[in-house]
Chains A and B, each alone.
Chain A
Amino acid sequence: MRKKKMYWTKDRLECFEAYGYLLPAALVLLTFWFLPVVASILISFTNWKGGDRLENIQWIGLTNYERALFGDKAEYMWDSFFNTVNYAAYSVPITLALALAVALLLNAPIKGRAIFRTVYFLPFITTWVAVSIVWKYFYDPNAGILNWLLGTTGLDWLDDPRCLWSMIIWNPLGLGKSVTHPILAGPSISMLSIIFTSVWRDIGYFAIIFLAGLQNIDRSYYEAASIDGATPAQQFWTITVPLLSPVTFFLLIISGIGAFKIFVPMLVMTPTGGPNYTTASMTFYLYQQGFTGSWLLGYASAVAYILFVIILILTFIQNRAFGRKVHYEN
C-alpha cells in the first residue's frame, strides 16, 4: 500500500470509487450547505419577501445591511444583538463554573456517582421546548412555584423589564434614567430567568465533559506532588487547572457559539421578545423578520450573515485571548 509504484489505471479506479462513496453525502451537502452559503449572500442583497415571484425581486445592494446596522431597523437589530451578548456573557461563565464544580464533586471516589451523574445529565437530553414550557410554568406569576419558594407574590418573572445593574447599581445612585444601554443596564429579570433555565439545562452536559477531562489526568502527578509536600490547593492550581485547560477551552468555544445561536427558550418562554424586547436573541430576531409578519427573506439573510460574522469574530477573539494559555499535554 505504501510508496510502491502503481498502475495509473488502478489509481484512477480507486479515485473514481472514492468519488462514488462521497457522492451521496456530497449531493446533500452541496444542495443544503454549500449552495445555501453562497445563495445566502446573494439573497441578502435583494428585497426578497415570502411569496415573491422571481421576477419581482430586486437587487438592492447593501441596503439590507445598512438597514440592519444603521437604518430604520437598527434599533431592534442592535437590541437583539446586545441581548444575545448579555445572554452569552452571563450564561457561559456561570454554566462553566458550576459544571466544573459538579464535575469535581463527581470526580470524588464516592458511592452512587452514576446515579448523580444521570440526574445531572437528564436536563440536557430533554428537549429545549419541553424544558422551556416547564420553566415557564415555574415562573408563572400566579400558578408558578418559584414565587412560592421565594416567598414573593405575583412577581411576573418572564415579563419583568427591570434590569440587573440598573436595580443594583444605577438606581441607588440615581442614574437609573440615564443608563439605558442594554450592556450597562444588564440583563432584565426576564432574561435572567431564561439564563437560569439554560444554566440548569447545560450544567450536566459540560460536567460530563469536564469529568472526562479530570479522569484523563494521570493520577501519578498528584501522587508525586503529594510526596513533594504540595497542598491540595497547590495541586489544584498547578496540576488540575493547567491539564484541564484544553477541555475548558473547547467548552468555552462551543458554549460561546451555542449561546450566540440561542433561540428556542426565547420563542417558547417569551414569544413577543420579552418586556421591552429584552429577551429577543439574534436568531429570534432573524426568525421574526424572515418567517413571520411580512417574511423579509432578503433582510433576514443579511441578519444571518451578520450573526455569522459575529460568531467568527467571537471565536477568533477567544482563540487569541485564551488559546495561548491552553496547556496541551504530550
Chain B
Amino acid sequence: MTTSAIILVVLGLAWAGVMAWVLMECSRRQRLAPLGSAFVYHMLTIGAVIMGLPFYWMLITSVKSFHDSQAYPPKWIPIRTVCTLNSDAEGKIFEVIKGDPKGGILGGYTYVIVKTVKFPNGEIRGQITPPKNLDYDVSAPIQLDVKLDARQAETQNESKGAGSGMVTIDPTSNTLTYDLSFMNLSGEITGVTLHGFAKKEMIGAEIFKLNAAGKGAAGTLTYTAMHEWGELILIPKDTPPEQAIRSTRALPTEVSNVKRELYFRIGNYAEAWVAPKVTTFGQYFWVSIFTSITTTIGTLLTGALAAFAFAKMRFRGKGAFFYLILATMMVPGQVLLIPSYIILQYLGWLDTYLALIVPWLASVFTIFLMRQFFMTIPDDLWDAAQIDGASRFRFLFIVVLPLSKPVMITAGIFTFLGNWNSLLWPLIVTTRPEMRTIMVGLQTYNTEAGGEFHLLMAASTMAVLPIVIAFFFLQKFFIAGIARTGLK
C-alpha cells in the first residue's frame, strides 16, 4: 500500500517535472526534441478532450430519446432497441409502475400534489373569477404582465422566490386564466398575489391585485409539478419497447426480432422548437437576430462617426469628452441597470424592440477601438481628398471605412456576440414571451423543462449553432481581434 503510494507520488512528480520542462521549452519557439513534441501533443489532446466533451455530450444528447438521456451508465452513442410486438401487445397502455421520487422526471403530466414539500421550480396554472368591479380596459391587449409573490412559511418577512408569467382575461365569461412559472420557492406556499400592470398607455399603473390564497379563497390553484415530487411514474410513449416491457414485467414471448440500431432522434429539434408555451423558438431567434443585427449596424455607424471626430478632427473639449467616454468603461453595467430600466419605463419602451436595441446603439469600446485604428490612417489621405473636393463625411465613408475593414469586423463581431449572448438586460426589460431573445427563451425553457435534458440540449444546440458556424467562417477576425485587445 505505502510502496504503491510512493510510486504514484514519484511518478506524479516526475510527470509534473517533465511538464514544467516542456512548457519552458515551448516558450522559446524552437524546434522541440521528438519526445518533447510527443509530450506537447499528449497534453494538448487531453485538454482538447476535456474542452470538447461537453460539446459532444450536448450534441449527442440532443438526438437521444428521453429515456436514453436519463440512462445510467451514460450512453455514448444513441442506440435503440427495435423489436416487433406480438399480436395485441401493440397499443396497450403500459402499467403504471412505482419509481423513486427523485428519478421520476416527467414533463407534461399534470397531477395534483397532495403534499407540498419543496418547490424548486414549477408552475402555477389556474383560473380565478375576478371581482366584478375589476378596472381593466377590455379594448387593451388582454395579456398582462404579472408578478408573483409567494410567501414562505418559515420566513414570513421576505419572499426569496418569485416568478413571472402571463394572464389572460376573458371578458365575456369574466374569467382570468394565469399561467406562471417561478423559481426559488422553498417551503409551503401560503398565497399568491397577482399584480396586473397595464401596458404602454399606463406603464406601471397597477390595475388590479388579486389574492389567491393557497386554500381556495378567490379561486382554486392547481399545481402542475415539473419534477421531483412525483409518487408515480408514467412511462412516456416513446420509451423503447424493451425497457417498457421489462418494467411491466411482460413475458419475453411478446416480442420478437429484437435488434439494436443506431438512431438519431432528430425530431427532438422540432419538439424543442415548439416547446415554449406561448410562442416558438422561431420567434426567439427572430428577436435575437433582429436586435443583434440592428445594434451591430447602429453601433458601427455611431462608433465610426464618433471615432472619426476623435481621431481626425479638432474641436473644443475633445480631451475632456474622450476621458469622459473612457471613464464610462470603468462603470459596471450593473449600476446602469436600474435607472435604465426606469428610463425605459417612462419612455414606455419596456417590452418593445426599442428597449432591446436603443440603449446599445453606441458602445464606448467600439468608439475606442475604431479611434485607435483611425489614428493610424495618415493625414495625407485627407489632404488629397480635400484637393479632390471631398467633404469630411464623404472622406469618412469612401476612404476611411473601406480601409478599416479589419477593425470594423472585429468591433462588429464583439457587438453581435455581446448582444446575442446577453441575458441580464433582455431578461429585465422584456416580460412578454414574444419579446424574449434566444438566451432569455433558453433560460426560461430551462426552468420550465426541468429534467428533459434531451430537449434542453437540442434547444441549447440551436442557440449556439449560429455563433459556432459564424466562428468557423470568421475565425481569423475573432482571434486577431481578441489578440489585439490584449496587446493594446
Contact = CB atoms under 8 A, between A and B. Distances in A.
B338 A40 contact: yes
Given A43-B342, A109-B30, A135 B359 contact: no
Q: Looking at A33, A52, A308, A312, which has the most chain B CB atoms within 10 Å of its CB?
A: A33
Interface string A252-276: 0000010011011001100111000
A208 B483 contact: yes
B195 to A, nearest CB: 7
Interface in A66-107: 101-102, 104-107
A126 B315 contact: no
Contacts of A145: 57, 74
B442 A133 contact: yes
A40 B336 contact: yes
A14 B27 contact: no
Interface string B317-346: 010010011001011111111111111000
A193 B358 CA distance: 37
Contacts of B343: 31-32, 35-36, 39
Interface string B123-150: 0000000000000000000000001010
Interface in A249-303: 250-251, 257, 260-261, 263-264, 267-268, 271-273, 283, 286-288, 290-295, 297, 300-301
Contact of B204 (A18, A51, A292): A51
A205 interface: yes
Contacts of A48: 342
A137 B73 contact: no
B55 A122 contact: yes
A148 B74 contact: yes
A220 B8 CA distance: 40
Contacts of A108: 22, 25-26, 29, 32, 36-37, 40
A232 B28 contact: yes
A304 B335 CA distance: 5
B331 A33 contact: yes
B486 A251 contact: yes
B335 A29 contact: no
B464 A304 contact: no
Contacts of B27: 104, 107, 214, 235-236, 239-240
Interface stretch (A113-121, A172-180, A181-189): A113-121
Contacts of A24: 301-302, 305-306, 361-362
A311 B338 contact: no
B487 interface: yes
B479 interface: yes
Given A29-B325, A133-B456, A142-B102, A307 B31 contact: no
B27 to A, nearest CB: 4
A140 interface: yes
Given A105-B40, A304-B337, A28 B424 contact: no
Interface in B290-313: 301-303, 305-306, 308-309, 313
A137 to B, nearest CB: 5
B26 A134 contact: no
A8 B286 CA distance: 51
Contacts of B51: 119-120, 122-123, 200, 203-204
A28 B29 contact: no
Given A143-B71, A288-B160, A297-B338, A312 B439 contact: no
Contact of B48 (A52, A110, A116, A247): A116
B183 interface: yes
Q: Is the interface of B mostly helix, strand, loop or mixed?
A: helix
Contacts of B163: 292
Interface residues of A, number: 121
A300 B324 CA distance: 25
Contacts of A104: 23-24, 26-27
Contacts of A251: 486
A216 B161 CA distance: 51
Contact of A235 (B22, B28, B41, B70): B28
Nearest to A30: B362
Contacts of B339: 35-37, 39-40, 43, 301
Contact of B314 (A15, A36, A43, A126): A15
A232 B21 contact: yes
Contacts of B314: 11, 14-15, 18
28 contacts: A15-B314, A21-B306, A28-B361, A32-B340, A32-B358, A36-B335, A107-B26, A107-B27, A108-B32, A110-B32, A119-B51, A122-B55, A123-B54, A126-B467, A127-B421, A131-B54, A134-B460, A136-B446, A138-B57, A143-B71, A208-B483, A209-B482, A209-B483, A219-B29, A271-B183, A288-B160, A288-B184, A308-B332
- In the A-B complex, the 10 residue pairs with the closest CB atoms: A209-B486, A212-B483, A36-B339, A292-B162, A39-B339, A18-B315, A236-B24, A28-B362, A25-B362, A127-B421
Interface of A: 1, 11, 14-15, 17-19, 21-22, 24-29, 31-37, 39-40, 43, 48, 50-53, 101-102, 104-110, 116-123, 125-131, 133-138, 140-143, 145, 148, 200, 203-205, 208-216, 219, 222, 226, 232-233, 235-236, 239-240, 247, 250-251, 257, 260-261, 263-264, 267-268, 271-273, 283, 286-288, 290-295, 297, 300-301, 304-305, 307-308, 311-312, 315
Given A43-B338, A232-B25, A308-B332, 16 more contacts: A25-B367, A37-B336, A121-B479, A125-B467, A129-B423, A140-B453, A212-B482, A212-B487, A222-B28, A222-B29, A222-B30, A263-B423, A264-B423, A267-B443, A271-B121, A272-B184
